[in-house]
Amino acid sequence: MMGPTDNQLEQYLWGEELSPQEQNWCEERVARDPELQRNFHQVHRLLRRFKTLREWMRKTEEAERHIWFTHSLNADVIPLELRTSVNSVMDELFMNASPTSMIKREVARRIGDLNELPEAVHLPKTGRLDKAPAASLSVSQSATSFSLEDFSLSEPSVPRKPDRAELERVEIRLNYPKLVRFMRRHHGEIYDRWEDGSTRVRVLGRLHAKNGQPALMAGLELLDLTAGLSQQ
């Protein structure tokens, strides 16, 4: 009679899906092996604790969203001049979120009527675009001004392997470019702390969460944070 492989036993212990025949093999093997029985019970205790923790975290975030909604009902809309950019950022965040209809309506109210925005101010022809060639020339001159000292024969330094937090920041920049630009422009101190490695910052820090709805929570934080700009 065939028996289960080590890989099949591992899948069985962790509750992964197996074919009925593989399931029977694993059950018979575990029933005959006291050590595997202990492993089976240990793993299932861990899985139960993990499930309980996930449920607790889900309920905690859900409660937090309810508190935000209650407080938000008394909050003013965000500053007029920021509505278009904030609306664009929220669209970006909500692509990776599942807000309830109640949250959606309150977010729309907080952003306000986009039709109230003043007409866009167009740059004159002599604006910043005329300065672009000079900037390009400066870069070009800098790029060509080198000496033989630049070609050092010393051993090249080994690049430092980025840690997980750095990789997460790179991923956030790629997935949420509008949010990152907005934070860098309007909330520079918070952005700088995030760049320095802190995940305990408003908005951007939310996106490091592995459970719940980080994009949604980041959006709710953004609305509250941006509303404060009208008082500055």
- Average pLDDT value for the chain: 80
Q: CB within 8 A of 27, min separation 6: which ones? A: 12
Residue 14 has a pLDDT of 86
Query: Would you place residue 227 in the very low, low, confident or very high pLDDT band (cuts 50, 70, 90)?
Result: confident
- Distance between CA atoms of residues 78 and 182, nearest Å: 14
Structure tokens, 56:
């607790």
Q: Region 203-232: what's the mean pLDDT? A: 86
- The helix or strand, by DSSP H or E, that contains position 78, with its residue range, turns out to be none
Asked whether the predicted pLDDT for residue 62 surpasses 90, the reply is: no
- Per-residue pLDDT reduced to its tens digit, 173-204: 999 999 999 999 999 999 999 999 888 888 99
Residue 141 has a pLDDT of 41
- Distance between CA atoms of residues 210 and 101, nearest Å: 24
Query: Would you place residue 120 in the very low, low, confident or very high pLDDT band (cuts 50, 70, 90)?
Result: low
SS3 state at 29: helix
